[in-house]
Structure 1
Amino acid sequence: MRRTFVVAAAVCALTACQQRGRSLYAWGSYEDSVWSLTHAEGAADVDAQIDSLTQTVERARQEGRAIPPGMHAHLGLLYSMRGELDTARAAFESERELYPESTTFIDGLIERMGARP
């Protein structure tokens, strides 16, 4: 009887741990994208990263999950690397809307791009 109770308690504990494993944010390939852009010189495929992160954002919206801080700013950086400054600015503005605490930083990025915040 005692053994059954211990096994049941262990199963309940493990089940509770599994349910808490879901992250608040929909990270998708964001962390890998940042890493490859900053550490793997020349190996970053900007187009593939944009596609992957755009899909992550869409999936997060469909699932009602939060987009992590910095994801839109990173997308803005990728778009600016591709020369799409209007799209980059829109991504930066999305970051600022979602995370108002980033306003000073985002405004600085937009200014450095040659546009007014």
Structure 2
Amino acid sequence: MDSKIKYSLISAVFLILSGCAAVTESGYYWGGYSETYYDYIKNPSEQTLNRHAEELYKIVDYSQKKNLKVPPGIFAELGFIKAKLGAEQESIAFYRQESALYPESQPFIERLIADSKKGTL
């Protein structure tokens, strides 16, 4: 086999497999969640928080486009970020999405909604 063809074939297989690696065995797409969350925790700032929130939106968008279930906690975390920023209605909407997707989270989500309405987050 010609070395150029062999190299092209190996490259194509690698690209296909690396594209699949973005989804975990459990079927969730986490994108760059770990990196942006770690960056925010290590260096809390408006910039790192915004970068993390952008990554959460990307995870939701990618999951929906690929017909995957949004990973647990993503909508709740977006709700928490919105609550911290004072956007109560947006916060509650994200909390409700989390609760609808993961009904077992409802008691926790209801507590977050109550705290959000009281402004204690």
Whether TM exceeds 0.5 here: the answer is yes
Pairwise mapping of residues 1-117 of structure 1 onto structure 2 (< 5 A)? 22-23=23-24, 24-37=27-40, 39-43=41-45, 45-114=48-117
Cα offsets for 1:47-104 (capped at 9, x unmatched) = 2222221122011100111211111111111111222111111111100000000000
Q: Taking structure 2 as the reference length, what is the TM-score of the superposition?
A: 0.68
Aligned residue pairs, count: 97
User: Please, which runs of 5 or more residues in structure 1 have no aligned partner?
Assistant: 1-17
**Fraction of identical pairs, as percent:** 25
Contact 2:37 2:52 in 1 (8 A): no
Q: For residues 36 and 106 of structure 1, do their structure 2 counterparts lie closer, same or farther at Cα, with a shift above 3 Å needed? A: farther
8 Å CA contact retained: 1:79, 1:88? yes
* Match of residue 13 from structure 1: none
Mapped partners of 1:51, 1:72: distance in 2:
12
Deviation at 1:41, TM superposition (A): 5.0
- Report the Cα distance in structure 1 between the residues aligned to 2:101 and 2:36, rounded to whole angstroms: 20
The structure with more radius of gyration? 1
Q: State the alpha-carbon separation in 1 of the partners of residues 32 and 79 from structure 2.
A: 16
Distance 1:70 1:31 in 2: 13
